[in-house]
Structure 1
Amino acid sequence: MASDDPKSGEQVSGSDVLVFPHQQCQVAQDSSPKQMGANVDACWSRSEARVWTLMLLLGTCLLYCTRVTMPICAVTMSEHFSWNKKQSGIALGSFFWGYCLTQVIGGHLSDKVGGEKILLLSASAGGLITTITPLVTHMTSVPLLFLTSLRFLMGLVQGVHFPALVSLFSRKVRENERAFICCTVGSGSQIGSLVIGGVGSFLLDWYGWESVFYFAGLCTLFWVYWMHRHLLSEKEHTISLEDLTKSLFHFKQTHIPWKRLFKKASVWAVILAQFSVASTFFTLVCWLPTFFKETFPESKGWVFNVVPWLVAIPASIFSGILSDHLTSLGFQTVSVRKLMQIIGMGASSFFILCLSQTTTFRKAILFVSASIGLQTFNHSGILVNVQDLAPSCAGFLYGVANTGGAILGVILVYLSGYFIDTMGSWTPVFHLVIVVNVVGLCIFLLFAEARRVDIDPTCATRDL
């Protein structure tokens, strides 16, 4: 197996060792689930990778179950509490204000104390907040204020999830397997949207909107319990206050060549592309249920809440297989990453344009399914490209990129509600999504690279 030399950044011959600038990633022997991850410096063995991939896939699925509860219930809750579109937009957008605040610090803490620990803390808090949301909302005379506050807190705790995943993968996954594992785990976002779209739609009709929150929250807490009990060692699910304080205190003292990194056009290319990808996806997830409910009121909710994600799941896994296969055939890594983004941002935008012109329910479902399915190719583009550029601080760098995407997502979600209210049409919303996507794609195609840019003596010889 080839490995990276920490000083030159070039591939050197090794014995099942992959060297990152700040640590060695050695292939571990097969072990029981309790022992998996015990050696923080070891790559996952194949059996470990299978178990961890499955559990992280499920964790990401539940992350989206809790995240999408509000969009699924938005119409019903708006009717129950007499909210207009602007008020609904505030409630929906409040999640992203919190989401954008913890991306960077979440990536940094994951690089310092371990992504698996941060993931467990995030899921614990997110599951609890989701479970108590209906109770708190009914106990107050100002439900919008309290719901907005809870969604803000949900954004805070969930903001660390994907930076933690990226950090964990950069330490534990061999380079030639990253695209497949990233895409497989990333497909959890579609599976989660599918599950909550299907189950949530039935719960919404049968038992009311409160049951959707209870279902998502309690399932997440059960996942945390299982991880705590069966997969993580005691060392991995314990974070001492001293470790957290030390990591936060030394936040500005990490030996990472920030000036070198942020002078690179390739770094800004992946950051700005992620701005576009994250913000447009957030906008669609927040408003599509309302679009279908209002545009096609006779349609069944489970259809538009389920069918697009049924397409997206195999599309995400296929994109990872295709990406790794093209790389193994000898295609340049940067060319593969750009191809994935052309499909993920360009082709998906074409179908959003088609959606803005359609007047039939069947065509709308077809176009939405194609767009969301193709967007999953971003997992094997941007998400892996961050690890190509800077594996030593991948969590932090992805946190920076996703922060911008979350901030832009807040703006787009609010603007969308404003456009719908003032113009009485969904077309400006879809056009806005297309423009943002195309701009991000053009920047990525012009400046993206796959060469490592974190190779610097101050970063290569010291631990983060």
Structure 2
Amino acid sequence: MLHQNFRHCYVFLIFLVIIIPQRYLLGIMGFLAVVNAYTMRVILSVAITEMVAPKKLTHYDSQTCDLVFENSTKSVSKIFSSKIYPWTSRQEGLILSSFYWGYVITHIPGGIIAEKFGGKHSLGLGILCTAIFTFITPFVIHSTDGNWVWVVVIRVMEGLGEGTTFPALTTLLANWVPVGERSKIGTLVYSGSQIGTVVGNSLSGVLIAATHDWAMVFYVFGILGVLWYVFFSLLCYTDPESHPFISDNEKKYLKEQIVNISSDEKNIPWRSIMTSWPLWALVVAQIGHDWGFFTMVTDLPKYMKDVLHFNVKQNGIWSSVPYILMWIVSMSSGYLCDWLITRKFLSITSARKTFTTIASMGPAVFIIAASYSGCDRSMAVFMFTIAMGFMGTFYCGMKVNALDLSPNYAGTIMAIVNGIGGLTGIIVPYLVGALTENHTLFEWRTVFWIAFGVFFVTNLTFLRFGSGKVQTWNHTDNIELQSTKTTRPVEAAKTKL
């Protein structure tokens, strides 16, 4: 029976390899990579609300919400009384931010390794390491009797593994995705962050409520990460030339469509890269996106519990709702962006700036509106949902911009951009913990106004200095700069699978 199951699985894998164009299969597996990465990243944000002893409010403002809801925090926390720890708000902030201490360290090494040896192994092994450390997290916490320093250590190790994810994915996309499909496939892959957040938040709340054990979420998502690694290793390859099962038609099509990239060994032009205004504009835009996104991903569950007093199951579900709309918007805007560029309604540069502006100012306005919703839980969730919906256009805006600037060094560019942006993951959770020690609406409103300011300034910078053009330092000794114009739709249709 076991042999037959393995045989059926093998036949299914062969079906995937033969039927689905390999660039799309890579896009699907890249999407699932980001889904796994984000589930393992965000589950602690929900779990920690049930790992920490409830804090008594010592300060009230005029809008402090009363504990008047059914199944309130008091009744839920009793269930986990034998497994809770006396961590302070500042310690919680350090624990939640510690993932990013490791995350930012491996970005640039991960990008260099991906460009030198291919993105497959850099991506796969990074996710596998994160999955293993996620799985053993409860063992570390229990064996150290909840010593928060050891929780920080294990989260740093997870971050080290996951830091290679986006540089490796960007290198793979540069090798596999034509310009005319860049927004669609790139958005599919990067939008895995929303689905990962939805799955991580909602399923964590359900699992904890059903099993009365916060440890279960680490076991489940750790195992899922390992399973993804097995399938990815079997199905995906570094580039079309090394793929043993790709069709001749698809290989020919990709060779014709993917330009400005060389397979020869490259010497990274560090000086030109580090003095490039469009690159630093992209870095600033990434800081704006990450500041807002991490504020929501890392700390929205805390807001839902500490201010609005949702119980753990409600917290997981309602904290995930904004990301469902964000994913829908990100996918649809990816198609719209490619259509506008292909039909020449917008240049690549104009498209990237337009969609980035929507993704910056929409969330900036609506998270402020959410903070002024007071204790109206339905209105607050609605405003957060609209805010994150607007944020979905970031992916066809600035997130794929590294591929525009330099297909040859896309992994290195993404490493620099995402690595520096990841520093906000260190700052934001600790800052939120320090600013919201009393869990009042007034304190949280300050957090959201800071996010508004960051969105506004970073977007202005990207509008002024951002670009969608291939940069001159994309040249290598063996490649001449080619046109970035996409193939006309009618001509592309003749060769496209």
TM, length-normalised to structure 1: 0.83
Write the mapping of 1:339-378 to structure 2, written as runs, cut at 5 A: 339-359=354-374, 360-378=376-394
In 2, distance between residues paired with 1:136 and 1:107?
30
* 1:406-452 per-position Cα deviation (integer Å, ceiling 9, x unaligned): 11321122111111127842111111111111111000001111111
Which runs of no fewer than 5 residues in structure 1 stay unpaired?
1-31, 38-43, 237-252
Partner of 2:44: 70
Question: Does the 8 Å CA contact 1:186/1:316 hold for their aligned counterparts?
Answer: no
Give, in whole Å, the separation in 2 of the partners of 1:439 and 1:269.
Answer: 11
Tell me how far 1:56 sits from its aligned partner.
1.6
| CA–CA distance in structure 2, aligned partners of residues 308 and 324 of structure 1 | 25
Q: Verify the 8 A CA contact 2:359 2:394 in the aligned structure 1.
A: yes
**Pairing 1:95–2:99 present:** yes
User: 2:270 matched to 1:258?
Assistant: yes
Could you tell me which residue of structure 2 aligns to residue 6 of structure 1? none
Instruction: Report % sequence identity.
Output: 28
Describe how 1:294-373 pairs up with structure 2 within 5 A.
294-298=306-310, 300-330=314-344, 331-359=346-374, 360-373=376-389
Q: Counterpart in 2 of 1:144?
A: 148
Q: Secondary structure at the match of 2:87?
A: coil
**Could you say what secondary structure the match of 1:297 adopts?**
coil
Amino acid at match of 1:52: L
Question: 2:301·2:316 contact (CA, 8 Å) conserved in 1?
Answer: no
* CA offsets 1:345-392 (integer angstroms, 9 cap, x no match): 111111111112111111111111111122121111112211111111
1:433 aligns with 2:437: no
**Closer, same or farther in 2 for the Cα pair 1:99/1:287, shift >3 Å?**
same
CA distance 1:264–1:142, shift in 2 (3 Å): same
* Partner residue, 2:194: 190
Aligned to 1:10: none
Question: For 1:117-148, what per-residue CA distance to the aligned partner results, in whole angstroms no more than 9, with x for missing partners?
Answer: 11110111111111111011101135311111
- Greater shift, 94-103 or 404-413, is seen at 404-413
What is the Cα deviation at residue 456 of structure 1? 5.9
* Paired residue type of 2:206: F
Q: Match of 1:421, SS?
A: coil
From 174, 181, 184, give the equivalent of 1:177. 181
After TM superposition, list the pairs within 5 Å mapping 1:353-432 onto structure 2: 353-359=368-374, 360-421=376-437, 424=440, 425-432=443-450
Which consecutive residues of structure 2, in runs of 5 or more, have no partner in the other structure?
Answer: 1-11, 54-83, 244-264, 481-497
Q: Does 1:212 align with 2:200?
A: no
1:279 Cα offset (Å) = 2.9
Larger Rg: 2
The secondary structure found in structure 2 opposite 1:209 is: coil
Which residue does the alignment assign to 1:287? 299
Match of 1:86 in 2: 90
Report matched runs for 1:36-51 at 5 Å.
47-51=21-25
RMSD between aligned residues: 2.5
State the one-letter code of the partner of 1:53. G
Task: Give the Å deviation of 1:231.
Answer: 4.5
SS in 1 for 2:138: helix
Distance, in Å, in 2 between the alignment partners of 1:310 and 1:34 is: 32
**Residue type of the alignment partner of 1:212:** V
Identify which of 151, 169, 173 aligns with 1:165: 169
1:269 to 281, 305, 319: 281
TM-score normalised by length of structure 2: 0.78
Measured against aligned partners, the alpha-carbon deviations of 1:291-330 in whole angstroms (never above 9, x if no partner) come to: 0111211462243233112212211101111110110110
How far apart, CA to CA, are the structure 2 residues paired with 1:105 and 1:170? Answer: 18
What CA distance in whole angstroms lies between the structure 1 residues aligned with 2:475 and 2:401? 22
- 3-state SS of the aligned residue for 1:380? helix
- Greater Cα offset, 344-353 or 139-148: 139-148
Residue 85 to residue 33, structure 1, CA distance change in 2 (3 Å): same
| In structure 2, distance between residues paired with 1:275 and 1:395 | 18
CA-CA distance at 1:256 after TM superposition? 2.6
Aligned equivalents of 1:452 and 1:231: distance in 2?
27
Is the alpha carbon distance of 1:376 and 1:209 closer, same or farther for their aligned partners in structure 2, counting shifts above 3 Å? same
- Provide the C-alpha distance between the structure 2 equivalents of 1:327 and 1:51, rounded to a whole number of angstroms: 24
State the Cα distance separating 1:220 from its structure 2 match: 0.9
How many residues were matched structurally? 409
